[in-house]
Structure 1
Amino acid sequence: MNEFTFGVSLRSVPGWTANCRRAEELGYDHISVPDHLGTGLPAPFPALTAAAAVTERVRVGTLVSNVPFYNLALFARDVATTNQLTDGRLELGLGSGHMKHEFDEAGLPWRKAADRISYLTEGLAELRTRLADEGGMPRLLIAGNSDGVLRLAAEQADIVGFAGLRQERGRPPGTFALDNADVLAERVGYFRALAGNRAVEHNLLVQRVVITDDRRAAAAEWHAATERSAASIEEVLEAPQLLFGTVDEVVAQLVARRERYGFSYITVFEPTMETFAPVVAELRGR
């Protein structure tokens, strides 16, 4: 069973240098950036290069690059250069994209899921070819929920990523449904059946962390704010991607979830970096 490692997804350009240094100081092992359009959101590869320049040991990576956004030749150039400038600390996270409005905003065609996954699959092959003379493929994370993306991760990834949220069909962008404990277990089981004996690290992108003496109250607050995303407060409390409780309770939850799902690489979002730090300290080396 893998020891725990911890990452933080940083999204704010203001304070970038200070946040990167603080993440390393708090004991995080990975700094990642998403690949989204929006005011104030970082362009991934320049941000990762800057993160590596002001830190010493953390790995830096995308969580995740939406491959259908890109011309693959230009994308491969950015990957190779970033890997070189970060002294090989790059962790390349890839996905097939899931937010139609971002493609619309960028003036890019929105393809059906099967076509986006095909582009990701073909893109990986081209990336490997183009990067062969540029130091090779960095450590590779592939994240997603669909059968096609998980099949690709089972075949090629060093790390498989699970977020446990999915855009609801026919609802406004950013309206997500929560994968409950059983759904996420099914997705992990599907992946493991395909991966066989391959040793693939399991990443979980945690959606919420609340350190509190009253787990149920924190779960009820989250459920009230996002009622469509879960059937009940009990479902919220059991969801692997939501962490509510005292530091000791959250530590116990993560140990149990590593046992059930294999999640050993845990990523939280920037607003909870400080909140989650005591858990990082407690689980270091375990």
Structure 2
Amino acid sequence: MGNFKFGVSLRAVEGSAQWITKCRRAEELGYRAITVPDHLGERCPAPLPALAVAAAVTEHLRVGPLVMNVPFYNAALLARDVATTIQLTGDRFDLGLGAGHMKSEFVEAGLPWQRASMRIAILDKTITELNRRLVEDGTTPPPLLLAGNSDGVLELAAKHADIVGFAGLRQAPGQSPGTFQLDDAEAVDERVAFFRSRAGDREVEYNMLIQKVEITEDRRAAVEAWQDSIPRDILDTDRLLDAPQLLFGTVEEITAQLVARRERYGFSYISVFEPEMEKFAPVVRALAGT
């Protein structure tokens, strides 16, 4: 079980000056990684160019996509782009890959939407092809992060990943692909146990992408207020308070939650979304080096 590492998922580029300022601010606040998601939509950045700039304007931060939507890409072209990004980032690059989950984005891109087993097979083949092409090019493959919740993705992560990414979300039954529901603590226990059963004694870093951070003196009231703002049915209050992908409480309470969850699940690499970057910084400082 490693020391804590904190990352921030930056999700919007509004110009070079703003992006540079934001990346440097993350480093000032004590974050150790900047990640960028791979989505289509207003102001959604292309991950690899944005990450190359992030590395260029910071000193120590690791950078990486969280995660590349692999079925979007041709493996040969992706290998070329990854190799260039490794060179431009000074070997501070972690390659995050996933199988894709938003049907609407495939439709927007004019790409076929395939069932999950097919997308996972594409991910598997791409991992092998990327490694082959990078090695043949004389490039050392970067640390690999694989993120997902399904058996198929977690089995691939158990075999290949240096970092396994959890988000505590699963496809909502009966809803369109890409509509998620939160897992409770016991469901996350099961997913982590499944991964561990497949990974054996491999040393893998465990990442959790936190879905909500709220610094508050009253955890229960804050969770209840948040529940009221969510349009669809979610877990009850007690289960939300215990959910490892949510952080509600004082700085001291949240630090205690993270320590307990590292012990329970192994989550030592904690990522938050961009809107939470400033408010979460006191927690980053409190747990630095522990």
Rounded to whole Å, the distance in 2 between the matches of 1:275 and 1:184 is 25
Matched, 1:191 2:195: yes
Q: In the alignment, is residue 224 of structure 1 matched against residue 228 of structure 2? A: yes
Aligned pairs (5 A) from 1:1-286: 1-14=1-14, 15-132=18-135, 133-171=137-175, 175-226=179-230, 228-286=232-290
String of CA shifts for 1:183-217, please: whole Å, max 9, x gaps: 00000000001101001000000000000001001
Q: Distance in 2 between matches of 1:201 and 1:174?
A: 26
Question: What is the identity percentage for the equivalent residue pairs of Structure 1 and Structure 2?
Answer: 64
Structure 2: give runs of 5+ residues left out of the alignment: none
Q: Deviations over 1:62-95 (max 9, x none)?
A: 0000101101100111100001000011110000
Q: How many pairs does the alignment contain?
A: 286
Question: Amino acid of the residue matched to residue 49 of structure 2?
Answer: P
Compute the TM-score of the two structures, normalised by the length of structure 1: 0.98
In 1: Cα distance, 2:176 partner to 2:112 partner: 19
What does the per-residue CA deviation read over 1:3-39, in whole Å, with 9 as the maximum and x for residues that have no partner?
0000000011022111100000000000000000011
Mark the runs of 5 or more structure 1 residues left unpaired by the alignment: none
The code of the aligned residue for 1:202 comes to Y
RMSD: 1.1
Q: Which amino acid aligns with 1:254?
A: L
Residue 172 of structure 1: how far off its partner (Å): 5.1
Could you tell me which amino acid in structure 2 is paired with residue 265 of structure 1? Answer: Y
SS in 1 for 2:94: strand
> SS state of the match for residue 240, structure 1?
coil
Q: 1:229 to 1:60 in 2, by over 3 A?
A: farther
Secondary structure of residue in 2 paired with 1:282: helix
